Amino acid sequence: MGPLAVTQLLGLMSLTVALDNGLLKTPPMGWMAWERFRCDVDCKSDPQNCIGENLFKDMADRLAEDGWKELGYEYVIIDDCWMSLLRDKQGRLQPDPYRFPGGIAKLARYIHDRGLKLGIYADMGTFTCMGFPGTTLDKIEIDAQTFASWEVDYLKFDGCNSNPVQQMLGYPLMSKALNDTGRPIAYSCSWPCYQGGLPPYVNYSLLGDICHLWRNYYDIQDSWDSVLGIVDWFSSNQDDLQPAAGPGRWNDPDMLIIGNFGLSVDEARSQMALWAIMAAPLIMSNDLRNLDNSARAILQNKMAIAINQDPMGIQGRRLLQESSRIEVYWRPLSHSASTLAFLSRRTDMPYRYHTSLTKLNYEPGNYKVYDVFNGSILTRLNATTEITISINPSGVVMWYVLPEQQSKQTEIPQPQMASQFFH
């Protein structure tokens, strides 16, 4: 590390909490381009799907008009490949003029006019992952100012083509630069992913001070194997990862791929349930213009969203891995409630899983249980009562669990479809 880097690093030690802007007290929700549309820049022959302003206007229209915004899906996030290959004469990033003829500021106004927020992508390195201009240390301040001048609301800051020292300097510097603009901008850091995702190489206390959320692990792909790989990594390392999360500071297992090509309906429900348990960002990457009813129902499930957005912000955990290949996940929620997810890793047939709330460490007493995906209700379920749950292959059964006494005493605002259960 050279003298300049040492000086900058020492300067970082005196930074105040960099992102004191009150954003993302619950996990962010919205839509992002990458997993579904990748780096399609061919707007001449593929104008409907290329990374250009029309794609993001289309998705903003769908979020605003198809019931997504009212559920909390508010961010429209541009990923890699939006840029021109050269910065402008003042050294600023600029969008590709053919694919974004109106510029980013005009696109931001379009999105804001619909009650939504705009996210954008940059990379802490010499080039982005796909070879567009990166943000080197000397460009951090001007890039932050540029994004603020465009009225951007969210920055995903990747880390391709940078080294650990540059990342150690650059991620905190970008946090400070964003704060110094005076514009509240949510800040998503990819730093942990490039450092292996775990202590001692990743300092999650520092991350929680400078970033609102962070990518811990590899990119999600459009497959059930990819979803399971991410869930396994997060669960295997939950003792390190779970305490790092909370209001304004979230682990990010990457995008929801529900509605694309790789998941069955049961697998899609499983991803939604597990992301809700993990207090993960609910950032869809799909084509909202061509979404089937089953995918829409899963992504718009009000109870799953309410669980994900619980204001306590405690990330859940995997409780059990049974020899039957059934796994049990649990998350504590507000008002003494909790959620359970019973996941089948089987591939043969529906499995009848036998358990009780007592076996899952619940206190003695009676409970009310609401099934998140089929809407059924169990009342006066005693903690000791043996229960049998049928779980489809690669599927999930997800419960919202509330002590019966608490359900009588507490007025809990919940989705209308469950109102009979909570009052």
Q: Please name the residues in contact with 73: beta carbons below 8 A apart, sequence gap of 6 or more.
A: 29, 30, 31, 63, 282, 284
Cα(156)–Cα(164) distance, integer angstroms: 18
What are the DSSP calls for 214-241, one per residue? Answer: EE-SPPP-SSHHHHHHHHHHHHHTHHHH
CB atoms inside a 10 Å sphere around CB 304 = 24
Q: For residue 151, which amino acid is it?
A: E
What are the DSSP calls for 130-189, one per residue? Answer: TSSB---GGGHHHHHHHHHHTT--EEEEE-TT--HHHHHHHHHHHHHHHHHTSS--EEEE
Do 133 and 96 touch, CB atoms closer than 8 A?
Answer: no
Q: Is 332 left (phi over 0), alpha (psi -120 to 50) or beta?
A: beta
Kindly state the greatest CA–CA separation across the chain: 72
Cα(73)–Cα(59) distance, integer angstroms: 11
Sheet with 377-382: strands ordered across: 317-321, 326-332, 338-344, 396-403, 366-371, 377-382
Closest CA to 288 of 76, 99, 6: 76
Cα(120)–Cα(345) distance, integer angstroms: 36
Cα(314)–Cα(150) distance, integer angstroms: 34
Cα(368)–Cα(399) distance, integer angstroms: 10
Do 159 and 124 touch, CB atoms closer than 8 A?
Answer: yes
Catalytic residue among 219, 222, 240, 371: 219
Our answer to whether residue 113 is catalytic in this structure is no
Q: Please name the residues in contact with 239: beta carbons below 8 A apart, sequence gap of 6 or more.
A: none
Question: 404 - beta bridge partners?
Answer: none
Catalytic residue among 80, 96, 143, 158: 158
Cα(180)–Cα(378) distance, integer angstroms: 52
Our answer to whether residue 158 is catalytic in this structure is yes
Which residues does the annotation mark as catalytic? 158, 219
